[in-house]
Structure 1
Amino acid sequence: MKSTLYIAFASIILCSSFTLKKEYKSINAPIEKIQTTIDRDSIISYSKQYLGTPYLYAGNNPKKGFDCSGFVNYIFQHFDVTVPRSSSGYKNLGTAKKAEDFKVGDVLVFYGYRNKTIVGHVGIICEANGMHSKFIHASSGKAGSVTISDLDSEHYSKRFYKCIDVLK
């Protein structure tokens, strides 16, 4: 009699555990990702908190420092936007925008300092005004840190390659 009760009790527990697993799986079924629009001003507000962070070659950590692509990558990663980690990865990325279509949050892509065939620098537009825009970036130059520069300065205007929207 005891063995019959034991078997019945074990069967109930065993059956209920299978039922619970099925319910558990249905509760955790994949949820469709909801498409959200990123507020471009939020990108700039977030990036400005890193003004003054030192330049560090190959850096992508605000506690240690940033290089240009590390900074851009870090900022967009915060908003779940995937962008290249290396500035050279921007050469064939996206479609070049006309100056009048530049928007806050777009990425500016520049040729290298000495070589006009290699992409060597990137930044994020923080004030959109065509070729008179301002951008935030990690500069290895005079500033040696995350700073805001004028696109129309001689140093950057002659190296300008293109502007792309990575938020589409």
Structure 2
Amino acid sequence: MNRNRKVQVAALTLTAGVMIGNAGMSVSATPLAGATAMVSTTEASAEVTSNSTLSGVNLALADMVTEASAKADEAVTEKETTAVAESKEAEQDSKFNHLAVGHVKDYANIRKHASASSKLVGHLSDGDLCTVLKKKGSWYKVESGKVTGYVKADYLTVGSEKAVKKASRVIAKVQTQTLKIRAKASTKAEVLDLAAKGDTLVVKDYNSEDAKDGWIKIKAGDRTGYVSTDYVRLTRSYHYAESIESILAKLEAERAEEQAAENALENTSNNSSTSNGSSSSNRSNNQSNDSNNSNNSSSRDYDAPDSRNGGAVARFATQFVGNPYVWGGSSLTNGADCSGFVMAVYSHFGKSLPHSSSSDRSVGVAVSQSNMQAGDIVCYSGHVAIYIGGGQIVHASNARDGIKISNANYRNILAVRRVL
């Protein structure tokens, strides 16, 4: 009995010595094998006991090392993930660092050199997108469309992802024969309006996640609605600066078109007066009265817009009937040409439109002639007007008639645009 106890103690002592001297030893026995074998009283059992106990301790240490290694791996993975996220964020920011957007009331001059006295090479309108090439003092050298030059830094928002995305327009072009515009993003929602194939709708607050759900929010006239993405094609577009050569050429072309239209109308009037001699005398008296009215137009009282919709635009615009036509003008009281009249009217509703009848063909959204509403802009060749309902328009007609009301179909309509 005593001999057996001595063997057992010796075995435990041997185990401790081996464990300290060979902490990294690897064995295949299970941790509980030592505890089981220690009840043996033979020398052979003592040997097994020592090996089995040691194997259990080594496996426990191995588990601790494995757990520590796993935690270290997790820490490294977390650091790597953070680094990748920061890298992607930095990369995203860098995409917009060289982009700028015009931030002006109307337009900013683009100069050939960084000086206010330098040659004018173009106009950068509010919301126009450009690429920043370099900075020189308080000027940025930019490239926008086909124009390259310098713009004062005060008129640009540089490196802003929000500004760049806001400057873009997402357009939905209808691909089906008739598209229902609904009050909510559901096929069960109320139908607000219908859009025909080929119509373009301005998408509001575009979100790619919303588009994945099958619906996008659009503006239809003065109302907001939803359409299914299954029946539209989405495109994103930007506006860019316009060169001085392009601006002058466009104005000259419009002037020629307006002059041709005025001459054609004059010939029609002359032919009519030949067949009726008294009409010429009456027209002369009317012109004299119109002239007197025009002289007093600036002293007349006019009502401010009473709301912000197409009907209000029509009511406001018709107040200026009888006021003079002045080519290149934009005064509702002292004289305006056709596009200047439309521009001036809409400026009272917070809308900045171009002083160009051809450019007016791309403002707002397109609507069909059959869906014209009061306040819509009616575009002709070299001319533009405002629809007031009942098949009539109000427009700055020509130098003889001034601002007047006419039938909308007195000429061939090229386009109808809705801004409000």
Question: Under a length normalisation based on structure 1, what TM-score does the superposition of the two structures give?
Answer: 0.62
Which ranges of structure 1 fall in alignment gaps of 5 or more residues? 1-35, 112-119
Match of 2:362 among 92, 111, 129: 92
Say if 2:361 and 2:417, in contact at 8 Å, map to a contact too: no
**Percent identical:** 29
More helix by share: 2
Q: What does residue 24 of structure 1 align with?
A: none
SS in 2 for 1:163: strand
SS in 2 for 1:49: helix
Q: What does residue 393 of structure 2 align with?
A: 135
Q: Distance in 2 between matches of 1:77 and 1:94?
A: 14
Following TM superposition, by how much is the alpha carbon of 1:139 offset from its aligned partner in structure 2, in angstroms?
0.4
What is the aligned-residue RMSD (CA, Å)?
A: 2.0
**AA of the residue aligned to 1:46:** F
Which ranges of structure 2 fall in alignment gaps of 5 or more residues? 1-221, 223-306
Following TM superposition, by how much is the alpha carbon of 1:142 offset from its aligned partner in structure 2, in angstroms?
5.1
Q: What does residue 380 of structure 2 align with?
A: 110
Instruction: Give yes or no for the alignment of 1:152 onto 2:409.
Output: yes
The count of aligned residue pairs is 115
Q: Distance in 2 between matches of 1:101 and 1:91?
A: 16
Q: What does residue 327 of structure 2 align with?
A: 57
Following TM superposition, by how much is the alpha carbon of 1:95 offset from its aligned partner in structure 2, in angstroms?
4.1
SS in 2 for 1:87: coil
Runs of 4+ in 1 over 2 A off after TM superposition: 91-96
Change in Cα spacing, 1:162 to 1:141, as seen in structure 2 (3 Å) is: farther
Following TM superposition, by how much is the alpha carbon of 1:152 offset from its aligned partner in structure 2, in angstroms?
2.3
More strand by share: 2
**AA of the residue aligned to 2:397:** S
Q: What does residue 69 of structure 1 align with?
A: 339
SS in 2 for 1:164: strand
Per chain length, whose mean CA-contact separation is higher, i.e. which structure has more relative contact order (CA < 8 Å, sep 6+)? 1
SS in 1 for 2:313: helix
Q: Distance in 2 between matches of 1:72 and 1:56?
A: 13
SS in 1 for 2:406: strand
Q: What does residue 414 of structure 2 align with?
A: 161
Following TM superposition, by how much is the alpha carbon of 1:44 offset from its aligned partner in structure 2, in angstroms?
1.4
